[in-house]
Amino acid sequence: MSSPRFDGKLVLVTGAAQGMGSTIARHFAGLGAKVAVNDIRLDSRLESLASEIGGVVAPADVSDPAQVAKLVADLQSSAGDVDVLVSNHAYMTMDSFLTYDEAQWWKIIDTNLGGTFSLIQNVLPGMRRSGAGRIVVTSSIWGVSGWPEATAYAASKAGLISLVKTLGRELGPENIVINAVAPGIIDTPQLDVDAASAGITVAEMHEHYAKDIPLGRIGVPQEIAATIAMLADFRLRSLIGQTIQINGGELRSRV
């Protein structure tokens, strides 16, 4: 099968200001899509990205259902119905379970799981009008394996996997196909934070993470973007409700 094309399609990518999100947005634009780029606020990174790829900015805090509804309504007015949703946003803090701040716990759940819920609810009517749609959700290796001191984040990402399984059954008959990706360690700005926390260089952080990966290296955002584009291909109709693990072999389990 040849590479997918998205000419004439409107693709909404959340969490697009940096890291995987910006790479995903660029990848879809390179495949012909009109891309709406979302992040929590309108800043120079989001504006620059939209200008670079000929897309549109769509800032909103996706943990707020009212903001999500306005985001999608504004897109419908200016660019049309969303054909492809890439729910890629994420929020994370870490702490031991017994001392985890309750407000932070719910902020993570409301952003990662609740935000995806609101986004799907709001784009579905347009996809139904079109008679088709594609939704790809970014989960995480931690949603499969869990991780110490990341209970809220891991729980939210595990919830996304279950949401995708369930909606795969519910929406598949309408040619609205939903799947997920569960990336492992990826070369994004988060590694700068990890390295600083560990008191080592970014290069040393790469080596540290690579020790547990059979491939011998961490992933790169382009690998995630290419997989998401494959899952969003409108010619692909039988892969539904699945979670594709992209982790270099670090974790090998069925989800």
CA 206, CA 63: separation in Å to the nearest integer? 31
Residue with tokens 């990341």: 150
Query: By residue range, what is the domain housing residue 180?
Result: 10-184+219-246
Residue 78 domain-assigned (yes or no): yes
Which residue matches tokens 């999500």? Answer: 68
DSSP 172: G
List b or e across 112-150, with b for residues whose CB sees 16 or more CB atoms inside 10 angstroms. Answer: bbbbbbbbbebbbebbeebeebbbbbbbbbbbbbeeeeb
CB distance 247 to 215 below 8 Å: no
Cβ neighbours of residue 167 under 8 Å, at least 6 residues apart? 120, 135, 178, 241
Where residue 146 falls (left for φ over 0; alpha for ψ -120 to 50; beta otherwise) is: left
CB atoms within 10 A of CB 175: 15
Residue at 53 is within a domain: yes
Query: What pLDDT, on the 0 to 100 scale, is given for residue 1?
Result: 67
Here the contacts of 76-80 (C-beta below 8 Å, separation 24 or greater) are 76/126, 79/10, 79/34, 79/36, 80/10, 80/126
* Residues involved in catalysis: 153
Q: Is residue 255 part of a domain?
A: no
Question: Residue 180, SS3?
Answer: strand
With contact defined as beta carbons under 8 Å apart, do 120 and 87 qualify? yes
Question: Does 112 reside within a domain?
Answer: yes
Strands 243-246 and 56-57: unpaired
> Looking at the domain assignment, is residue 45 inside a domain?
yes
Q: What is the pLDDT of residue 194?
A: 75
> Is 196 inside a domain boundary?
no
pLDDT tens for the chain, 255 residues: list them.
678 999 999 999 999 999 999 999 999 999 999 999 999 999 999 999 999 999 999 999 999 999 999 999 999 999 999 999 999 999 988 889 999 999 999 999 999 999 999 999 999 999 999 999 999 999 999 999 998 888 999 999 999 999 999 999 999 999 999 999 999 989 888 788 677 768 899 899 899 889 989 999 989 999 999 999 999 999 998 999 999 999 898 888 878
Number of domains making up the chain: 1
237 forms beta bridges with none
Decide if 129 is inside a domain: yes
* Domain CATH for 157: 3.40.50.720
